[in-house]
Amino acid sequence: MSREMLNERTWTSSEVSTAFRPAQRTMSYGGVAVKAVFFLAVTAALAAIGWANASVVAGQGSGLVYLVGFIVLIGLTVAAVQNPRLALAAGLLYAVLNGLWIGAISRFYEEVFEGIVGLALLGTLAVCLGVLLLFSVAGFRVTPRGAQIIAVLVLGVSLLYLTGWLLSLFGVNLTFLYGYSPTAIVVSLVILGIAASTLLVDLTYVEQGVKAGVPKAAEWYAAFGIVSSIVWIYLEVLRLLARVAAARNG
């Protein structure tokens, strides 16, 4: 979803230019980082609540509830894109809803594969640091064409997950997507790579925003996009580790 927020048109779009009026204070890397940490802290706090109440948050949910939740999360992103002034409010609501859901899901994974959540957190940190090193040390930047390709891949993954979930409601299981075979593990690795690439795109466009002197209020908008990428990376690391553990226990 961060691809809808941070892309090659972000800082030149009419929505953003009208939402963030020229100001003396402009976007900075530190400002974006602080706001992203704030969103992550809210997500973590609500994840703790979701963990403690996993059976209530996720265990009793119906397919319709999850579908509505998925639509709400997409709606929050679209709302922020259409009206960037809503980025703070949308980001907070996103952090609350995602935090509760992630905490509950993580609890269920932990009960099946003891210690997996800790490993997933370390894995997420490693992936994010790796992307940051590629960006800051190796000088990797995503071109507009590359960002478009990544956006198409993200859309494809989203549709794949949605299709797999809908089919599961009718008893059809896409083993290559949800199974524990070598093929499923490879697919999981590919999807994790796509998730990591979205963070690299985010950093590229934040750099462009800083250089363009975008008003400081846009930091909430950028932070929302970055956090959505980090959350996705965590979920993909968690799924990958679960598949590897299940294959070993096989």
pLDDT cut 70: percent of the chain above it: 78
Which amino acid belongs to residue 241? Answer: L
List CB contacts of 21: < 8 A, sequence separation 6 or more.
215
Q: What is the per-residue pLDDT across 106-126, written as a single tens digit (0 to 9) for each?
A: 999 999 999 999 999 999 999
Structure confidence at residue 137 (pLDDT): 87
Instruction: Give SS3 for 108.
Output: helix
Q: What is the per-residue pLDDT across 224-240, written as a single tens digit (0 to 9) for each?
A: 889 989 999 999 999 99
- Taking residues 135-146, what's their average pLDDT? 89
Integer CA distances (angstroms), 155 to 4, 9, 198, in order? 10, 18, 12
Taking 60 as the threshold, does the pLDDT of residue 188 lie above it? yes
Q: How far from the centroid of its chain's Cα atoms is residue 197's Cα?
A: 11
Q: What is the per-residue pLDDT across 126-140, written as a single tens digit (0 to 9) for each?
A: 999 999 999 988 888
Q: Hey, what are 24's tokens?
A: 């003396």
**Cα gap 238→124, rounded to integer Å:** 9
- Taking residues 175-193, what's their average pLDDT? 90
Taking 80 as the threshold, does the pLDDT of residue 5 lie above it? no
- Taking residues 161-174, what's their average pLDDT? 83
Structure confidence at residue 54 (pLDDT): 80
Averaged confidence pLDDT in the chain: 84
Angle ∠(58,64,66) on CA atoms, nearest 5: 40
Closest C-alpha to 227, from 144, 160, 128, 153: 128
**Cα gap 198→236, rounded to integer Å:** 13
User: How confident is residue 62, by pLDDT bands cut at 50, 70 and 90?
Assistant: very low
**Cα gap 128→132, rounded to integer Å:** 6
Taking 80 as the threshold, does the pLDDT of residue 78 lie above it? no
Structure confidence at residue 69 (pLDDT): 59
Query: Would you tell me how many other CB atoms lie within 10 Å of the CB of residue 183?
Result: 12
- HSE of 100, CA atoms in CB hemisphere, 13 A: 15
